[in-house]
Amino acid sequence: MSMQLRKLCGALALALAWAPAFAADVPKDAPKAEAKEAAKEEPKEAKKDAPKVGSPFPALDGFSLEGKLPDTKGKVVIVDFWATWCPPCAKALPMFKELHEKYADRGVVIVAVNVDEEQKDVEAFLKKLPLPFAVVRDVTEKLQKALDLDGLPVTYIVDRQGTIRMIHDGFAGDETKKEYIAWLEELLK
């Protein structure tokens, strides 16, 4: 599954990098052939037992994650899945540092779940960008499979009772940050 995530993330990064160049050459009133083709494709079926918004988030300690898990009981928890080879993931991590600084004292815990195959890649990345919150690695891919992940980054916001309140795919800079802040403020009331 990690290889699938790697390919998907790489394709997304490439598409985002080249999109402005191609968009400049397309007239605004041009037909949307890509949209028509995409509409023909069937959406991916989610696993029937994969947790969704409104369902309990699985207990992290049941997945043999590599690294030290923080105490999440009674806390609002952000669980972010990321990889060192994923450009949107790397762009999102500084935002999570900001959220940690702003909300840790109010009961928010961030757990960054890395999906890299090699620990040395994670260590090298974290030397360049140290993170002040828990970083664990899903070596066995059990958590990724339980959540039916098929792309990165993916972020879950879980309320104090352990219920998934939001699932967010991707990272859109300030727009994503504003969405997370709105959810955190609501859950911390």
Residue type at 66?
E
Asked whether 186 and 159 are in contact (CB, 8 A), the reply is: no
C-alpha to C-alpha distance for 9 and 141, rounded to whole angstroms: 17
Tokens standing for residue 111: 């757990």
End-to-end CA, the chain: 38
143-164 CB burial, b ≥16 within 10 A, e <16: bbebbbbebbbbbbbbbeebeb
Three-state DSSP at 142 gives helix
Catalytic residue annotation: 86, 89
CA-closest candidate to residue 119, choices 142, 137, 135, 93: 137
